Amino acid sequence: MSWLVLASCSKTEIKKPLEYEGPMREAENIEMFYTENDRVKVKMQAALLYEFQNGDQEFPKGIYLEFYDENGKLESKLSANHAYFFKEQDQWRGQGNVQVDNVATDEHLSTEELFWKRSSKKIFTDKFVTIRQPGEVIYGDGLDAEQDLSDYEIINPRGQTKIDD
């Protein structure tokens, strides 16, 4: 009986180390203030915040914002079940049960996704929106608006609205 033994040499592949892509910092139960000219413009509260290497921020347990006018008076409120801040675009995205209230006019906006551009003070979405005003409800797909809902356009309105003569 004869045995044939074959042996081979193989190169050991060196694998690249995996690069960590998760959050660099984590904070719980935060309250932050954004100011302009020594006046509070935005108050933010969140149960959990993740900060990433590129400056992006994620709020996986939701976010609550209050917007103030130049005199420090509360203009509007915004809340969402999840939020993400894109640093490079200086833009926020709220998702899941997004609610915006204009305190002065008693208007209320509901949608599942909403973007906020801080520099232009605009909010927008291409998702279904509901706006409740005293005496009427407006529905539609897509919205471009001032952050306090003082001026807005529903891109594809539907449903019934009240029209004054």
Q: What is the DSSP string of 117-128?
A: ETTTTEEEEEEE
Q: Name the band, by pLDDT with cuts 50, 70 and 90, for residue 65.
A: very high
pLDDT for 110 equals: 96
pLDDT value of position 94: 97
pLDDT band at 159 (very low <50, low <70, confident <90, very high): low
Smallest Cα–Cα separation from 67: which of 39, 94, 97? 39
Q: How is domain 25-158 classified at the CATH fold level?
A: lipopolysaccharide transport protein A fold (2.60.450)
pLDDT digits 0-9 by tens, 11-49:
677 788 888 888 899 999 999 998 888 899 889 999 999
| Partner residues linked to 113 by β-bridges | 95
Domain parsing of the chain, residue ranges: 25-158
Amino acid 4: pLDDT: 55
Is the pLDDT score of 2 beyond 60? no
